[in-house]
A and B are shown apart, each in its own frame.
Chain A
Amino acid sequence: MEDWPALLNGVAADPLTNTILRLAVVRALFETGRLPEEQFSWLHRPGPELLSTSDLKQHVGSAHVAETLLQLGHLNAAERLAFDSLEMEGETPPVLRTLARLHVVKGLPDAAGIFLNRLQAYPEHCPWAVRLRAGLATNSPATADPTIARIRANLITRDEIAMGLTTERLLRQALESNPENRMAFQFLMAHQLLERRLLYALRTLATSPQTREGPLPRHYAEALLLHRHLYPGISLDALLPRVPPAVVASFQGFMEMMNRATGSREQVQPQAWRDFGNTYWYYYSFGALHQPSRLPSPGNS
């Protein structure tokens, strides 16, 4: 299994301007159950779309996008990207691992075996390969690799010609196939919040069966309050009662700071960063101005 906490530790000081690192952080936060609470503790300014490969130089990192697509249920898109990575980046453990998983899910264990044979040449990946091979031998690969069960549950079911696949469309298709696809839901929310598509994000939130009750996660609540402030005419009655009081209080503080501010937005930014740097409000209002190397860490983290 991938060591997601270690990945987060490893990139803690990184400004996260790299496409693949941004995706890796979102994935790690999701896998550790922290994405709706901590996304904007890590990502402070806009960047390339989450699942975009257009910014990759020489396809470096496309294996990671392929693996994410696979986990989302996009078997075919993952296959394309993984084989593109194999051809352009060359053989790497991540792409071999993705191709092995992918062919297990496709019901092609002999093909999976070829990629596992290659992977076994890498000592640090050998144990995983051996485990998955043993799982294949006993017809229980999902025991050896629990993500296989998730992929199977998430598989895209409706075929169409794959053209113009944006991040938004990929994630919506995944949710259409399986509305309970937790990864697709959280990634779609993360994507729409990053793209500052508040209306879309709140529609996703309101229509998802995954958040029907209980307190809203912090960033979703932050987005909800910001939306109500910006578009007071649009009713959000069903969701508002689920905003945690602490978020309501914090938003009042944010608005007071913004109302007190008399200078330009640039002048307000340092204080906003210090007091609200980990919130969606900061990202939404100041993300475009954010210079990661110039500012100390926010104070309310």
Chain B
Amino acid sequence: MIGPKPPQPHARTQKRRPDIEGARSSRRIWLACGCLLLAGVRSVASPAVQPDPLSGRASPPGVRETAPPSEAPRLPRIAPDYLEVVIPPNLAPLNLAIQEPGIEYQLRVSGSRGQPLELRQSHPHVRFPLREWKELLGTNRGGTLRWHIAVRNPAGEWIPYAPFESRVAQEEIDRYILYRRLRPLFSYYKHLGIYQRNLETFEEKPVLRNDTFEHGCVNCHTFLQGAPDRFAISFRARSGTPTLLIDSNRISRIDTKMGYLSWHPNGKLLAFSANTITQFFHLAGPANRDIYDARADLNVFHVDDRTVEKPAAIAVPDRSENWPCWAADGRHLYYSSAPTVAFRDERSFRYDLLRIPYDPDQNRWGEPETLFSGAEHRLSAHQPRVSPDGHYLVFTVTDSGSFPVFRSNSELFLLRLDTRELEPLPINSNQADTWHCWSSNGRWLVFGSKRLDGVFTRLLITHVDPAARFSKPLLLPQEDPTYYDTCLDNFNVPELVRGPVQISEEELARAVNTPGNTTGPTGRESSAPDRAPDRSTISDNPYP
């Protein structure tokens, strides 16, 4: 049992005030030293900025500065917490709120190269100008940014806070991210949709909202290696439960229900799960709801001839296979697999993590290999995602069950595929951490986490270095730094893509509403004749 999750080192830094204080006390000495260097930082303040409480210059008459010489300045309270994060060099500004009482605020962000960014204003919500921010990141790519904050209190005193740092990575993150946006849903849903966000700006656009097809359910969205013009989306609509395939911005509708999806890198195969999902609720206890999904199989959709294959190796009777993920070289399929259990035994349901060799030229499967035993670890393994270089596997772990986002003890684990070393990631929090996605260059991982408040899934970005060290996660920035304080939506199933989805929402909606090809498990070997012919029924929402 992994039980209630203890606070993780990085997790604390996502919390607000007390965490920022506590997590960094050990760094006070060098931060204080950093503060002493302030006088040497060149100021390019706007004409409105005078005097400069960050520069050590003399204050005008009537303005006192308080920085008791015997006491090192403390770190400022800010939200989101951007202390010591690693920033993609092409990411939108890290706008923030300074959570210190005051009547005037000054912030300067400087690197070792180029002009610093400096703002002075009467309110604590900081929004950086996009052009200057990009310039700052661009010139300091691979370097360090130093953040200096000072607040003028109601008595007119400027309080300088200890500076902090963040690093600008060398490697960019994919320009766009798609996610599913929806409120916490229990028994009913009305509004949900897939949106795309430009990570270099704050622009967010709907890809497909369910009010374009009579409030049906829009589920999985899966891209072929981050290509924005090659993807699949599955639905539950009044006209059926189709899947849309988009290839070079041409849409075809497949009337086959598909659960969790993964493209083979050759673009000719789509592995998908065929789930029978039942949501149920608890009368008491911290976990209110859960999913019983213990009778799934994996299928393969052949794009060229529009047929569904149910390979015996990944649709084993008496086992439930789920969460498919192709390796980047297409030579292995990773997936979860567990002995099927009855509903009354769902608490003992635990997935193993397997991979099976595949020869795409011969359409031949090898022998499955267990990478992680759920029974041995007494943990259930879900959502395997292999790094683009094939060296690492990140997956989600819970104490049992089949749907990690509903469990606060969900954690991300790393498996080093060369050494088979297994470790929980240091970026985990004491709330659910799930739905991860690698960037196409393998240097970034985006994942969903409920760490901010325990209820809403927000997206976080972490840098991954070549040795698979994960940086402190960075909350997906918004233009309004207080955006998440009033946001009632979850952001989940993040998928990084290299550019914007070009196909219009109207075209996608039209395709959903127009019956298309009916494709069934015909024309290829179906190796589980004892199963019902249609195992792809999704009786409930796979992403509640």
Which A residues lie at the B interface, using CB under 8 A? 59, 74-77, 79-81, 83-84, 86-88, 91, 103, 106, 108, 110-111, 113-114, 117-118, 155-163, 165, 173, 177
A108 to B184 Cα, complex, angstroms = 15
Quick one: given A110-B16, A111-B456, A159-B282, are A79 and B486 in contact (CB under 8 Å)?
Answer: no
Contact A161 B280 (CB under 8 A): yes
Would you call A114 and B488 a contact (CB within 8 A)? yes
Whether the pair A80, B289 counts as a contact (CB closer than 8 A) is yes
Interface centre among A79, A86, A87, A91 (most CB of B within 10 A): A87
Query: Which one of A87, A108, A161 lies within 8 Å of B183 (CB-CB)?
Result: A87
Q: How far, in angstroms, from A114 to B185 measured CA to CA in the complex?
A: 17
| B30 in contact (CB, < 8 A) | no
Indicate if the CB atoms of A173 and B283 lie closer than 8 Å: yes
Contact A83–B185 (Cβ < 8 Å): yes
Docked-complex contact B455 and A117, CB < 8 angstroms: no
CB nearest neighbor in B for A161: B280
Residue among A113, A118, A158 making CB contact with B283, cutoff 8 Å:
A158
Is the CB–CB distance between A84 and B188 below 8 Å?
Answer: yes
Contact B281 A75 (CB under 8 A): no
Chain B contacts for A74, CB-based, 8 A? 283
In the complex formed, the residue of B with least CB distance to A160 is: B283
Contacts of A160 on B, CB cut-off 8 Å?
282-284
Q: Tell whether, in the assembled complex, residue B284 and residue A117 are in contact, meaning their CB atoms are under 8 Å apart.
A: no
Main secondary structure of the interface of B (DSSP, over half): loop
B285 surroundings in chain A (CB, below 8 A): 76, 159
Q: Which of B188, B282, B283 contacts A88, CB < 8 Å?
A: B188
Per-residue A-contact encoding for B472-505, CB less than 8 Å = 1, 0 else: 0000000000001111100000000000000000
> Which residues does chain A contribute within 8 Å of B288, judged by CB atoms?
76, 79-80
B454 at the binding interface (Cβ < 8 Å): yes
Partner of A76, one of B185, B191, B283, B456: B283
B107 within 8 A of A: no
CB <8 Å contact, B189 and A87: yes
**B461 within 8 Å of A (CB atoms):** no
Given A117-B486, A159-B283, are A110 and B454 neighbors across the interface (CB < 8 Å)? yes
Across the interface, B191 reaches (CB within 8 A) one of A59, A87, A114, A165, namely: A87
User: Given the known A-B contacts A80-B186, A87-B183, are A110 and B280 also in contact in the complex, defined by CB atoms under 8 Å?
Assistant: no
Is the Cβ of B280 less than 8 Å from the Cβ of A162? yes
Which A residues lie within 8 Å of B488 (CB)? 86, 91, 114, 118
The contact sample of 7 A-B pairs, CB cut-off 8 A, is A86-B488, A117-B486, A118-B488, A156-B284, A160-B282, A160-B284, A162-B280
Closest to B280 in A: A161
Complexed CA–CA distance, A258 and B503 (Å): 77
Known contacts: A86-B183, A88-B188, A118-B488. The answer to whether A156 contacts B452 by CB under 8 A is: no
Does B26 belong to the interface (CB within 8 Å)? no
The answer to whether the Cβ of B5 comes within 8 Å of any Cβ in the partner chain is no
Is B506 an interface residue, CB under 8 A from the partner?
no
Bound Cα distance A103, B452 (Å): 13
Question: B46: CB under 8 A from chain A?
Answer: no
Secondary structure at the A interface, as helix, strand, loop or mixed, is: helix
Instruction: Confirm or deny: B453 has a beta carbon within 8 angstroms of a beta carbon on chain A.
Output: yes
Residues on B with beta carbons closer than 8 Å to the beta carbon of A161: 280-283
B contact residues around A91 at 8 Å (CB): 488
Flag if A83 contacts B183 (CB, 8 Å).
Answer: yes
Asked if A108 and B282 sit within 8 Å, CB to CB, the answer is: no
Which B residue sits closest to A75, measured CB to CB?
B284
- What's the nearest-Cβ distance from chain A to residue B341, in Å? 15
- The answer to whether B187 has its CB under 8 Å from any CB of chain A is yes
CA–CA, A174 to B283, complex, Å? 11
Q: Which residue from A81, A114, A177 sits with its C-beta under 8 Å from B485?
A: A114
Question: Given A156-B284, A163-B280, list of 19 further CB < 8 A pairs?
Answer: A76-B281, A76-B283, A76-B285, A77-B283, A80-B288, A83-B184, A86-B183, A87-B183, A87-B185, A87-B189, A106-B286, A114-B455, A114-B485, A114-B487, A117-B486, A159-B285, A162-B282, A173-B283, A177-B284
Contact with A along B179-221 (1 / 0, CB 8 A): 0000111111111000000000000000000000000000000
Q: Number of contacts between A and B (CB, 8 Å)?
A: 92
CB distance from B316 to the nearest CB of A (A): 28
From A120, which residue of chain B is reached at the shortest CB distance?
B486
Q: How far is the CA of A79 from the CA of B185 in the complex (A)?
A: 10
Q: Give the most central of A76, A91, A157: most B CB within 10 Å.
A: A76
Are B485 and A156 in contact, with the CB atoms below 8 A? no
In chain B, positions 387-446 with a C-beta closer than 8 Å to chain A are none
- Asked if residues A117 and B485 are in contact (CB atoms below 8 Å), the reply is yes
Minimum C-beta distance from A87 to chain B (A): 5
Tell me which residues across on chain A come within 8 A of B15, comparing CB atoms.
110
Q: Which residues of chain B (1-23) have a CB below 8 Å from chain A?
A: 15-16
For the complex, what is the distance from the CA of A235 to the CA of B184, rounded to whole Å?
Answer: 52
Contact partner of B486 (CB less than 8 A), chosen from A84, A88, A114, A165, is A114
Residue pair B188, A158 in contact (C-beta under 8 Å): no
Let me know if A113 and B183 touch, CB within 8 A: no
Q: Which of A79, A114, A163 contacts B453 (CB 8 A)?
A: A114
A157 adjacent to B189 (CB under 8 Å): no
**Chain B residues whose CB sits within 8 angstroms of the CB of A113 once the complex forms:** 453, 485
In the complex, chain B residues whose CB is within 8 Å of the CB of A87: 183, 185, 188-191
Bound state CA distance, A235 and B186, in angstroms? 47
A76 touches B454 (CB 8 A): no
- Contact at B455–A158, with CB atoms within 8 Å? no
Q: How far is the CA of A81 from the CA of B190 in the complex (A)?
A: 14
> Which residues of chain B are within 8 angstroms of A165 by Cβ–Cβ distance?
283
A173–B284 CA distance with the chains assembled, in angstroms: 10
Residue of A nearest to B484 (CB): A114
The reply to whether A159 and B190 contact each other, CB–CB distance below 8 Å, is: no
Residues from chain B with Cβ under 8 Å of A77 in the complex: 281, 283
Tell me how far the C-beta of B126 lies from the nearest C-beta in chain A, rounded to whole angstroms.
19
B76, chain A: closest CB distance, angstroms: 19
A205 and B423 alpha carbons, distance in the complex (Å):
57
A80 and B284 within 8 A (CB): no
Question: C-beta contact mask, B208-244 vs A, less than 8 Å → 1, else 0?
Answer: 0000000000000000000000000000000000000
Give the CA-CA distance A290 to B488 in the complex, in Å.
Answer: 45
In the complex formed, the residue of B with least CB distance to A107 is: B454
Task: Mark each residue of chain B from 286 to 300: 1 if its CB lies under 8 Å from any CB of chain A, else 0.
Answer: 101100000000000
A76 touches B282 (CB 8 A): yes
Q: Which residues of A contact B280 (CB under 8 A)?
A: 161-163
Provide the residues of chain B in CB contact with A157, threshold 8 Å: 284
Residue numbers in B under 8 Å from A59 (CB-CB): 188
* Complex Cα spacing A110 to B487, Å: 12
In the bound assembly, the distance between CA atoms of A118 and B484 in angstroms comes to 11
CB distance from B354 to the nearest CB of A (A): 30
Task: Please give the distance in Å from A113's CB to the nearest CB on chain B.
Answer: 7
Interchain CB contact under 8 A, A108 and B284: no
**Shortest Cβ distance from A287 into chain B, in angstroms?**
32
Residues of the B chain whose Cβ atoms lie less than 8 Å from the Cβ of A156: 283-284
